[in-house]
Chains A and B, each alone.
Chain A
Amino acid sequence: MTAYLDHAATTPMLPAALTAMTEQLAVVGNASSLHRTGRASRRAVEESREKISRCLGARPSEVLFTSGGTESDNLAVKGTYWARRDADPARVRLLVSAIEHHAVLDCVDFLVAHEGAKVTWLESTADGLVEPATVRAAIEADPESVALVSVMWANNEVGAVQDVAGIAAVAREHGIPFHTDAVQAAGHLPVDFAASGADLLSVTAHKLGGPIGVGALVARRDARLVPLTHGGGQERQVRSGTLDTPAIVGFATAIVAATESMEAEAVRLTALRDDLIERAMALGAGIRPTGFWQRGDGVHRLPGNVHLLVPGCDGDSLLYLLDAAGVSCSTGSACQAGVPQPSHVLLAMGISESDARGALRLTLGHTSTQGDVDAVVDALPAAIERARRAREATAS
């Protein structure tokens, strides 16, 4: 028996999405072809686009299909930077939060290293939040130099949900494009693109019950983007490449289903999340949840996100021991050459490097049950004891 608590990495496909995608896989058709076979494929794509746009509070023409969250973030950050710099060479400054996913952070590093960009990192509070006032101060230090503001909707490690509308309003005042990475939020929290005031929004299918390998960048019609891929001119000339009709159909089916069950799922997962956090804290090992957490609050922290700091332990030891006990989870942070690094998100929240090494991310989703939570709580005490001994054994 495996208890799967890594839904933020990827969540199982929803049955309806699997069925719809599988059926479409058996159908030939290039959505760019003019004949009837192509038209049938195009119809499936456009109906999917309409469904997705409805779920995200966007217009169909604002949905650009991509290969997933990473490509969407790359297109948003690089595409906007190049377009803005081309229009005004002074606009080379990127205002980006320090808690972004690497798909955004590494774009910024690339642009700084190779394309003359400058960056102002937007600080996070201890709760993992970027305050609109922080964004305002960063812009107003030199408004004419700013190319783009990018702050994620919900954090993939600690589940912190940002005041996206508040930040967007500040950017809008200065006419600066605002991008938000909503990969962890879409399908789990109400995401209304138009109401949010964002110019660009990244989503991916496989975090909400769709297939891996497809996502979208939602971009306002007036957003200017330099394309990253050139070719057949699909997707408003911004993202060339034959559309993956079956994956897009699976994506649309998943987001419709996730949106329909969103409210009930949020309540259910918040209860499981709170149960797991409270029982972990009750183990008496000094375990504490990271970032903002309040019982019953599924609005300011993702309903399915549990992130714990376990004092005296290395996250990778815990990961191994829990895996051996049948619990699949994550440390939440990226590896470098297979070696877990202390999370930049936790460091940005002011957590010490030593504490950050004891991070454990347990994320719930549509297949999660009370039994999964029980399995984790049962496995934790022995895992913590051994992980502590392992850290002591290797301490220099």
Chain B
Amino acid sequence: MRVVAAMSGGVDSAVAAARMLDAGHEVVGVHLALSQSAATLRESARGCCTIEDAGDARRVADVLGIPFYVWDMAARFTRDVVDDFTREYAAGRTPNPCLRCNEKIKFSALLDKAVALGFDAVATGHYAQIVETTDGRRELHRAVDAAKDQSYVLGVLDADQLSRAFFPLGDTEKPRIREEAAQRGFFIAKKPDSHDICFIPDGDTRGWLTRRLGEAPGDIVDTSGEVLGHHDGAFAYTVGQRRGLGLSRPAADGEPRYVVEVRPRTNQVVVGPAELLGVNAISGDHARWCGPAPEGVVRVGAQVRAHGEEHAATAWADEGRVEVRLDERIRGVAPGQSVVLYDGTRVIGSATIAASRLERESSAAPSVRSAG
């Protein structure tokens, strides 16, 4: 097959490209230029789109002896990922830009361009597995390395996208990938992993948002509406957040307080005790299915944030919406994050969390089917 290897300049995508080549594919390396301002490109020390990273990717491609190109996706990335990220925060939600990038950029803009140019597929260095079923369908599964598993951020890919995707690292533990990179002579074998959001290289999301959205001072209140403190912009707060609230008065019971709600309309951040964070019902929209949509009510594992735990639950889909009922209460369910549904190691699909609440345990859904 003719395959585009998306190469960020990091270890993982380098080994992924090498493995595709070893598997006998015709591989071309492509680095995505995602920043519209060349100045940011030059100044940011970290992140996935610096000049050094493009140079590192090119160096690896040269070692592999494959062609290498930089494709300019900055306009699409700004529109579909960065602007969406800002808008979501402004609306009081907590988006995951990596999901959006996989859905709209890596497996849409990049994949579409690659297919138009005569390629068959895109390979990335994500830790996840594609499993082909006996009837030829391609399923998305968790990676072998549970600590590195990135199936959560790929839960937005539909069957068409998965049919043209390769994740060659999913069967290997991360330390082995570094060893392999060293054995292959890649000088980036010891390059640190990137953890931050690539377009916020200093990791200061609050500062970045404030620069874009401006300061919007408002009140921090408790659930009764009493003002406990002030903030410079409700958008900088996430449900479940405990640190950085700057409250002058401790709670009456001395227990820590958490953000339990962000109200963009009144520019209020609501805080309360931990028990208010416990929810067992999630409503999601923007449903995306990695294969056929589940029919009826199914038992699933639900994951509500990247690298979070999986929780036993019941779910059912209705058009583009998904309802999830968790067996146990969980905390830290933030609107804007995605709930990704699993059947064993297989990813069923995902939805963006629109709302969560505590329902009486008896109000669970009716007849349950296996996720099939």
A339 touches B70 (CB 8 A): yes
Could you mark each residue 318-357 of chain A with 1 if its beta carbon is under 8 Å from any beta carbon of chain B, else 0? 0011011000000000011111100000000000000000
A393 touches B (CB below 8 Å): yes
A317 CB-CB contact with B under 8 Å: yes
* B76 and A394 contacting across the interface, CB-CB below 8 Å: yes
Cβ of B118 and Cβ of A338 under 8 Å apart?
no
The distance from the CB of B79 to the nearest CB of chain A, in whole angstroms, is 6
Contacts of A317 in B (CB 8 A): 113, 117
Q: Are B28 and A320 in contact (CB under 8 A)?
A: yes
| Distance of A340 Cα from B115 Cα, bound (Å) | 21
Bound CA–CA A163/B41 (angstroms)? 40
**Prevailing SS type, chain B contact patch:** helix
* A116 to B69 Cα, complex, angstroms: 38
Q: Is the CB of A338 within 8 A of B33?
A: yes
Contacts of A390 in B (CB 8 A): 113, 116-117
Instruction: Give the interface residue-count category, chain A.
Output: 20 to 34
Q: Which residues of chain B are near A339, meaning CB under 8 Å? A: 33, 70-72, 74
Q: Which chain B residue shows the least CB distance to A324? A: B67
State which residues 54-83 of B face A: CB under 8 Å: 54, 58, 67, 69-76, 79
Q: Does B51 sit within 8 A of A, measured CB to CB? A: yes
B330 close to chain A: CB less than 8 A:
no
Tell me whether B180 is interfacial, beta carbon within 8 Å. no
Q: How far is the CB of B101 from chain A (nearest CB, A)?
A: 15
Give the size of the chain B interface in residues (CB under 8 angstroms): 25
For residue A367, give the distance in angstroms from its CB to the closest CB of chain B: 23
Which partner residue on chain B sits nearest A387 by CB separation?
A: B117
Confirm or deny: A244 has a beta carbon within 8 angstroms of a beta carbon on chain B. no
> A320: which of B54, B72, B109, B117 is its contact (CB, 8 Å)?
B117
With a cutoff of 8 Å between Cβ atoms, the chain A residues found around residue B112 in the complex are 393-394
Partner among B33, B69, B113, B116 whose Cβ is within 8 Å of the Cβ of A337:
B33
B122 to chain A, nearest CB (A): 13
Interfacial chain A residues near B116, Cβ < 8 Å: 386, 389-390, 392-393
Q: Is the CB of B76 within 8 A of A321?
A: no
Q: In this assembly, does A192 line the interface, its C-beta being within 8 Å of a C-beta of chain B? A: no
Task: Say whether chain A's binding surface is mostly helix, strand, loop, or mixed.
Answer: helix
A338 and B28 contacting across the interface, CB-CB below 8 Å: no
Closest to A317 in B: B117
Evaluate contact between B67 and A338: CB separation under 8 angstroms.
Answer: no
B23 interfacial contact with A, CB 8 Å: no
**Distance A389 CA – B112 CA, assembled complex (angstroms):** 9
Asked whether, in the complex, the Cβ of A386 is within 8 Å of the Cβ of B118, the reply is yes
Contact A394 B28 (CB under 8 A): no
**Smallest CB-CB separation from A390: which chain B residue?**
B116
B147 within 8 A of A: no
- The answer to whether A393 and B113 have CB atoms under 8 Å apart is yes
Known: A337-B51, A337-B54, A338-B70. A393 touches B41 (CB 8 A): no
Contact with A along B20-38 (1 / 0, CB 8 A): 0000000010010100001
* Additional A-B contact list (15), CB under 8 Å, known A338-B69, A339-B72, A393-B116: A320-B69, A321-B117, A323-B67, A336-B38, A337-B51, A337-B54, A337-B70, A339-B70, A339-B74, A340-B72, A386-B118, A387-B117, A393-B112, A394-B73, A396-B79
Please, could you name 14 A-B residue pairs with CB atoms under 8 Å apart, sorted by A?
Answer: A316-B71, A323-B67, A337-B54, A338-B31, A338-B58, A338-B70, A339-B33, A340-B72, A389-B117, A393-B113, A394-B76, A394-B113, A396-B75, A396-B79
- B interface residues, Cβ below 8 angstroms from A: 28, 31, 33, 38, 41, 51, 54, 58, 67, 69-76, 79, 109, 112-113, 115-118
Q: Which residues of A contact B (CB under 8 A)?
A: 316-317, 320-321, 323-324, 335-340, 386-387, 389-390, 392-394, 396
